[in-house]
Structure 1
């Protein structure tokens, strides 16, 4: 409106100037055109908006057209047209150029959102400032604050002139506090209480202090959603004539409180009298009728009606009819309170996919993403196949977000293009330097781990590391799409030197060489089965003499040199099953991940044993955006020996024992310290040595024992965890996928099913802690705390603050733990 007033005023002013200059003769032939006042706009650019040339005859009407044309260029805020003899003189004042845009005081709206709003009005740095739109922008932003309950909010645009016709534009925000809801009243409800009706409302009042998920701040949009929720509550219970007659929102004089009243008419319940399907069902009438959830004689239920419409639409979408129309027409009989439902089905045309495109993948090759797409080009469009493809790509560890849309092709009513829009995230890491952990201490490491090598989707790892307890080198390779139908192939070669005493377990040193290969087969989009074969060569030295390990050492020890290193080889075959329905590969918030594996050494190995492990993670979102979620974790394991070798009954090698404690298992306890501890048995000294050198053991009742400070681990394990995943405070939403905060409770135990507690009851304890029954699985530990996980440029970091809730004698509780460069 202001722009129109300015144009009219300019035209009147210019016409008056022209009339005064031309005296009684207002028409003349233009001999020349002179434009004055130009600074930033080039003369040539200005002349393109002047619909008058030399030799043209001008009058008041032509001058009006000229002024309108110049204003349409958006470069000028004032225009005057004058006559100097037969020269047409145009004096202009350019709009100032925006040098800088500053937002101050905005907390609820991000700068990026504000700039997007200004872009729509062509207000950006480097562009001319149209002052006529500033008032509408101020009012629009105020309306936004009013809609979220901030009725004391104010927005002021401040323009600061600068040299060379430039200005600084500052938008000053005074948001104030949001008005809280004091009370919500429902008037006219007789069938249901206010408490029942308000239970599902998003807007709440008088909530408990600990109910931090409730929304007590008034928002107009949220109220509209709650009114729809109220309507659905009645419609889902057969009250077909329910209506919200009116809504009153009253504000306190201080504008800090809101009172809401909803006046309703409940009506009576209606029963379904008949359900009729009409239209083209493409030969699927019998199936649709058989599974139709709407049944005559039942109460009308709006949710069931909506579900039925969606079900038919999705079902037809499987066969390429991507845009069906399913409409339910109710015929209401108010006399007998019944309703006849007629479902009109129009499948439309079968839609075919012309092309599948990918956007946003700057590293990953298109063909890698296409390997995860089960929707084929040239075939009919299936919404199920598109959703399956999206989920498959989302579970890739190098994909942060995946979305898709179908784009109709102009002039083709039966073809679409599918556009997948992906957002990548770091797929690996390069580590070189120094790391430190409270358990690993000072360590040097170097390596490359890449889940998407050169954008091919292949996983390659070359890692060399040295920490306080281990030196290792490993080369690994996996091609997840070795064949076009998703069969994977991989292999590893590794070497490690391990010092158990520095790993918080019993004393021993080991050297291990291993080489292995694995192949995987997809069962369906969620399930996969893998087979592996690994050859290992292990050497053990610097042994500690513990009751539990002596049984294992005995079958390899040279009696002439009992302290000499021992070595053994094994060929391990394995089979594993995995299932994943996670919504993301990294930091998921919905779905589940399960893995079960069984490993057994072949009978020709030096050691015969088996191990089975189950890992399960289940995510339950609490909010629609899944930023609040509950995670439950379960890990179970069991292993043992089988058969005998050279007359020795086989047991699980203690190097394969399960351990617990630390960031990966039981937080709140020192790493690998939970579970059975080594028993050092000391003879009573009453043995007898015969002349031939044979030693006859004495009475064992005189023996004593002492427990080591180190854990031995066990052949059985049960661990569980319950976590509440919350948004991380002070973290931008864009970074939420790389930082995670959770409140947790951990519980679990490691035990030895072969341990004979009664054997040690009669022995004296020579010192240290009291012996526990290490075969008792009920001796669980538990802890609670808060954990922060961050995928940093240095690699994954885990920080945990926890407190042991249940501990046993000899346990080493730990309040704070952290690790750098260790996966989690």
Structure 2
């Protein structure tokens, strides 16, 4: 905006020239008009700018009017008026047409900003060029560079003639280096030191090399902001008479350094003697007085005064008074250093919403967006409801940005239209996973998911997987607004064939098909509860023999054929609670989300077990633009069996165990490798007694081995901390598509039912995959640290992670680099 104002100001200083104009020597009546020199401008158009017609008497005054009118058309560079008998002859030279505009050497100003400023002043491709304004434009751009500390900058406009009265316009920039701040001095401060005052200022000097976030280049606007921060620093501490008396900015002779001096008068501290509310508070005086932070006897605080004004305005805005006026009038007593604050409140008229409009949604239907708007048409305008509506739409995964504005209805001072301006992002994704491991080799998976199917807001997905460890197909459907009240309805149908040996878990194969349905109820705008029921049919075969799985297999084994496949059915009921205050559905930077779920099989199932999981994420913005943010996350889970079936005590099926390792759990470790490993017990052999009778050997002589693959466990605790930083070499407007973070991951998976003492005394025959550990010990945690880059690509989310294991255990498979497509954020 500042650049555009500078250019516009330069143009206002320019004036048109009337050179080369010749007036007829005497008055005469015009019998004919002839225009010469026209090329691009049509004769009819040129005649419309002539304030003279055939039959008019022409004199010196009328000639002056005629010339001014022709120049004001902006089509002509030169105008000459002649007389041929009683014929008026108008000779013109048209302004050249701009064929191309080139910017060269500009780094601090984008081409788009420059073109916007030129457009506003009529300089664009295809338009005639007014050469008289170029000098003003050059000077305006120089002033802009001076304002950001580039005092050696130069701007030159170069015009290159082309055939057919066309020109190329090139703006050549020599920006140079910005002047560095050599010193900032605050003169007149006695209460606070220079170091204390400098902490709140953006401009800095003599900073250490590692403080790359500090701003040491002089910028006029930044200095103005720092002066305001300095003023607020004193006002917030009671120095009501504080003032900045003068400001001096001087340069070194070579214009490479800046010295800044701020002369201040601190004054004395003032306390609040009284706080009075006057005006129409709509009957809410008692509540407002009770929550006001301003208290007599305390030091004056400008921040609290501003907060009080904003609070009252927002509070009245909840009741439809969208444009209240809240003014604080201080009555200063310099004798006893006190101030009486009078807050004058004028609520204005109650404002009603006539219409709610949506703009920018080329895919999503208005109906879908309207379902997320709590503000209703025909009711009074509520600022809190508008903010709630914006937050609700922003959490949709297919919305990148959401803003709104209120527009007064012409001729009606109590009605407004609300315009929501949205920017959509791809709602469909091609989900894929690409990985390479020493054991898994190359693995691929693919799927299609549409979060906004045909613009209806419904989620439809088809996922097909052909990775080395699994072949599966799943169809998912969810309608978030099955009813107008926000009740959701969804379902899934799936089939899979699984090979655990290729999944970095113990050896077993399975076939499963399932069908399920779920229904959700909104509690409020942040909280939701869901219920689900899923039927599953599972077949296990090609089993591996591990101590931890025998109890589960034994209840299904066929004594005549111990290696035969086993099959069981289950009906899994679930209930979950979710809460989200995130500011965006994808790449959030503020707010939090939590989800807790509990699932349990019905007593008529072939297996009886339960599982509970809690997943939470908390985002804390570190900067005003929220490009720097801090993320804390946690995931905990526990599961086990309950009761008995046919005399068999129930345990959690090992197929339902938790696993960890990989992009979404513990980066720096191979997928699903963290946690308990399968224990293989090998009997020492039978003992042959007298008469050839064989007797069982002493179990204490058995040996054990450890599987190279993880078994998983019935308990899990994972967590992490991430510092979200601006992505290097990526423009700020790409923050919603690319994210970079520095992370620390920590966690463990363990088995609460594992009895370490049962195996600790046995010899281990094979230690290639690590030594036996107490897999029931939750303190055997792992940790890693690294850098992650996430990109919302046209094919779906991509995640690149570079990490290093900090704490690993014997037998762990640490990985430095991981790459995933279709990762959930």
Aligned twin of 1:735: 734
- 1:465 positional shift: 2.4
Task: Measure, in 2, the Cα distance between the counterparts of 1:241 and 1:690.
Answer: 110
Of residues 799-808 and 212-221 in structure 1, the stretch that sits farther from structure 2 once superposed is 212-221
Q: Aligned pair in 2 of structure 1 residues 6, 225: CA closer, same or farther (>3 Å)? A: closer
Task: Measure, in 2, the Cα distance between the counterparts of 1:524 and 1:33.
Answer: 78
Task: Measure, in 1, the Cα distance between the counterparts of 2:446 and 2:340.
Answer: 72
Task: Measure, in 2, the Cα distance between the counterparts of 1:293 and 1:80.
Answer: 74
* Contact map agreement 2:142 2:153 (CA 8 A) in 1: yes
- 1:210 positional shift: 2.1
Task: Measure, in 2, the Cα distance between the counterparts of 1:711 and 1:690.
Answer: 44
Aligned twin of 1:22: none
Aligned twin of 2:5: none
Asked if 1:217 corresponds to 2:217, the answer is yes
Q: For residues 67-86 of structure 1, what are the alpha-carbon distances to aligned partners after superposition, in whole Å with 9 as ceiling and x for unaligned?
A: 11111111111111111111
- 1:776 positional shift: 1.1
Aligned twin of 1:642: 642
Asked if 1:180 corresponds to 2:180, the answer is yes
Task: Measure, in 2, the Cα distance between the counterparts of 1:5 and 1:116.
Answer: 20
Aligned twin of 1:438: 436
Q: How does 1:383-532 map to 2 (within 5 A)?
A: 383-430=383-430, 436-438=434-436, 442=442, 447-532=447-532
* Contact map agreement 2:659 2:675 (CA 8 A) in 1: yes
Task: Measure, in 1, the Cα distance between the counterparts of 2:695 and 2:643.
Answer: 29
* Contact map agreement 1:251 1:257 (CA 8 A) in 2: yes
* Contact map agreement 1:688 1:698 (CA 8 A) in 2: no
Aligned twin of 1:710: 709
Aligned twin of 1:808: 809
* Contact map agreement 1:121 1:133 (CA 8 A) in 2: no
Aligned twin of 1:281: 281
* Contact map agreement 1:739 1:791 (CA 8 A) in 2: yes
Task: Measure, in 2, the Cα distance between the counterparts of 1:2 and 1:723.
Answer: 50
Asked if 1:763 corresponds to 2:772, the answer is no
Q: How does 1:357-376 map to 2 (within 5 A)?
A: 357-376=357-376
- 1:303 positional shift: 0.9
Q: For residues 282-311 of structure 1, what are the alpha-carbon distances to aligned partners after superposition, in whole Å with 9 as ceiling and x for unaligned?
A: 111111112121111111111111111111
Q: Aligned pair in 2 of structure 1 residues 3, 313: CA closer, same or farther (>3 Å)? A: closer
Q: For residues 524-571 of structure 1, what are the alpha-carbon distances to aligned partners after superposition, in whole Å with 9 as ceiling and x for unaligned?
A: 111111111111111111111111111111111112111111111111
**What is the aligned-residue RMSD (CA, Å)?**
1.9
- 1:206 positional shift: 2.0
- Structure 1 runs, 4 residues or longer, greater than 4 Å off: 1-8, 439-446, 687-691
Q: How does 1:148-297 map to 2 (within 5 A)?
A: 148-297=148-297
Task: Measure, in 1, the Cα distance between the counterparts of 2:232 and 2:604.
Answer: 68
Asked if 1:317 corresponds to 2:317, the answer is yes
Task: Measure, in 1, the Cα distance between the counterparts of 2:539 and 2:247.
Answer: 80
- 1:6 positional shift: 6.8
Q: Aligned pair in 2 of structure 1 residues 35, 461: CA closer, same or farther (>3 Å)? A: same
Q: Aligned pair in 2 of structure 1 residues 7, 617: CA closer, same or farther (>3 Å)? A: closer
Aligned twin of 1:608: 608
Task: Measure, in 1, the Cα distance between the counterparts of 2:415 and 2:368.
Answer: 25
Q: Aligned pair in 2 of structure 1 residues 746, 2: CA closer, same or farther (>3 Å)? A: closer
Aligned twin of 2:672: 672
SS at match of 2:228: helix
Q: Aligned pair in 2 of structure 1 residues 53, 299: CA closer, same or farther (>3 Å)? A: same
Q: Aligned pair in 2 of structure 1 residues 583, 7: CA closer, same or farther (>3 Å)? A: closer
Task: Measure, in 1, the Cα distance between the counterparts of 2:472 and 2:425.
Answer: 28
Number of aligned pairs? 812
Q: For residues 752-785 of structure 1, what are the alpha-carbon distances to aligned partners after superposition, in whole Å with 9 as ceiling and x for unaligned?
A: 1111111111100101221111111111111111
- 1:448 positional shift: 2.8
* Contact map agreement 1:480 1:486 (CA 8 A) in 2: yes
Task: Measure, in 2, the Cα distance between the counterparts of 1:189 and 1:577.
Answer: 56
Task: Measure, in 2, the Cα distance between the counterparts of 1:8 and 1:488.
Answer: 71
Q: Aligned pair in 2 of structure 1 residues 795, 109: CA closer, same or farther (>3 Å)? A: same
Aligned twin of 2:655: 655
* Contact map agreement 1:687 1:697 (CA 8 A) in 2: yes
* Contact map agreement 2:745 2:783 (CA 8 A) in 1: yes
SS at match of 1:615: strand
Task: Measure, in 1, the Cα distance between the counterparts of 2:229 and 2:413.
Answer: 37
Task: Measure, in 2, the Cα distance between the counterparts of 1:604 and 1:237.
Answer: 70
Q: For residues 503-544 of structure 1, what are the alpha-carbon distances to aligned partners after superposition, in whole Å with 9 as ceiling and x for unaligned?
A: 111111111111111111111111111111111111111111
Aligned twin of 1:790: 791
Task: Measure, in 2, the Cα distance between the counterparts of 1:677 and 1:556.
Answer: 23
- 1:821 positional shift: 3.8
Aligned twin of 1:750: 749
Structure 2 unmatched runs, 5+: 1-9
* Contact map agreement 2:621 2:629 (CA 8 A) in 1: yes
* Contact map agreement 2:434 2:445 (CA 8 A) in 1: no
Q: How does 1:547-696 map to 2 (within 5 A)?
A: 547-686=547-686
* Contact map agreement 2:436 2:443 (CA 8 A) in 1: no
Task: Measure, in 1, the Cα distance between the counterparts of 2:695 and 2:162.
Answer: 105
- 1:443 positional shift: 5.2
SS at match of 2:685: coil
Asked if 1:340 corresponds to 2:340, the answer is yes
Give the one of 4, 14, 17 matched to 2:21.
14
Task: Measure, in 2, the Cα distance between the counterparts of 1:8 and 1:444.
Answer: 72
Task: Measure, in 2, the Cα distance between the counterparts of 1:66 and 1:84.
Answer: 17
Asked if 1:74 corresponds to 2:74, the answer is yes
* Contact map agreement 2:430 2:822 (CA 8 A) in 1: no
Structure 1 unmatched runs, 5+: 20-25
Taking structure 2 as the reference length, what is the TM-score of the superposition? 0.96
* Contact map agreement 1:441 1:467 (CA 8 A) in 2: no
Of residues 357-366 and 181-190 in structure 1, the stretch that sits farther from structure 2 once superposed is 181-190
Q: Aligned pair in 2 of structure 1 residues 566, 201: CA closer, same or farther (>3 Å)? A: same
* Contact map agreement 1:438 1:818 (CA 8 A) in 2: no
Q: Aligned pair in 2 of structure 1 residues 314, 445: CA closer, same or farther (>3 Å)? A: same
Q: Aligned pair in 2 of structure 1 residues 655, 687: CA closer, same or farther (>3 Å)? A: farther
Task: Measure, in 1, the Cα distance between the counterparts of 2:281 and 2:224.
Answer: 36
SS at match of 1:413: coil
Task: Measure, in 1, the Cα distance between the counterparts of 2:690 and 2:214.
Answer: 83
Aligned twin of 1:41: 41
